[in-house]
Structure 1
Amino acid sequence: MSNRLWPVWTILLLLGFAGQSQASNCSVDDYDHNGSIMQVEMCGDDLYISYSRPKASLRKIGIRVGTTLFEGTISRIGAVSGTARRFSAQCGAIDYSVEGAIRPNSILLEGQAPVRNRRCEVTRYRYDELLFSLDSYTDKAANEEWYAVAGAFSSRKNANNRARNLSRQWQVMNSRNCPNFTPGYWVVVAGPMPERDARRATAEGRQYDAYAKSCY
């Protein structure tokens, strides 16, 4: 075996090529997530999602630019698995496992998120869904994904009762499906459709003070 030592400049050159090769496998894009702008970085099989511009309500609980929300891996068929985080001003961050997939213009992750009490103890788990949408897609969808809204209810049963009083174009949707809607409600909607059509559709629900609203 040769004991010959490589010159330092040769080693640095090789390391430089290796770094360029690794960097070429990475892509960084901005996605929307519930009103916050996220930086989504894909490097080979690795996926990292962090806050680029967190919305005001999240900044109040300590989330800052660069705070990591998810890190995991991507399979060859686009399946995603890894660890997401839930944040609390009182209890801090807590990790939980999620799985999902990369879809056209979006990433959808699902898992059982821990729910904590005032003593920061995990008391139960509930279904959680994390949807990330490309900014370019969001801008386009803003012109197409409008809804006529004829009421929002905390009870799905009450929302269904309202929808039955309207024509078949009306349906019940969870408000979390639209980043521009207040989460936590069952919404009676007609759509999605262009803004002009959504405003026209409100005429049928005028007795319920129906209005038009963009999903994004």
Structure 2
Amino acid sequence: MALILKNVTKRFDGQTADTAVLRGISLQLERGSSLALTGESGSGKSTLLHLAAALDRCDDGEISLDGRRYDNLTDFELSKLRRKFISVVFQQFNLIPSLTVQANIELHARIGDQFDIDWCGALTDRLGLSTLQNRYPEQLSGGQQQRVAIARALAIKPALLLADEPTGNLDESISLEVIDLMQELVKEHSTALFLVTHSTQIANRLDRQIHLKQGLISK
């Protein structure tokens, strides 16, 4: 299994075990497969994704990637893990305005010493960005910016790709096209995809889906 969560609990200030934002969450996700996480606002979806992304720490439980536990690592070790093995695609794209499309795509890979010029070129072609490499984010449509964000995330060939409402700013037809392309790429390269969405239509296109309700996985 690429990603394994065992009895993960997360509390914020003032919360008890019964009111924690996440209460004993367990799930598994294999490489080359995809999992959609749905739930109402405030159900803990983004919190769970941030824990899996090593951007936050759980209070109880265990989280591991490819057999290596990482909920108990130091901040430095977590940073190294994110640079080399985990990528996140955010709803707001988070592209750097002063960098070109090509530089944005290469950024994460260069920081993590994972840069592969051939792979970045292949991603650029596959995602339809070849003619846009020298443009800046403000010169792109929302769909084009999202494709750049996906290319940047995949440039390190991550073991785990997480996406938080990645098509929330796109219209329905473009959203489904982006999700299908993301699915193709992660399957081809044995990446595990964990995606948060409010869209039933998008969730249905992934291999599996789970629903979060009041901090628990709803059956």
TM-score range, shorter chain: under 0.3
Structure with larger Rg: 1
Q: Which has the higher strand share?
A: 1
TM-score of the pair, normalised by structure 1: 0.26
Structure with larger RCO (C-alpha < 8 A, sep 6+) = 2
Q: Which has the higher helix share?
A: 2
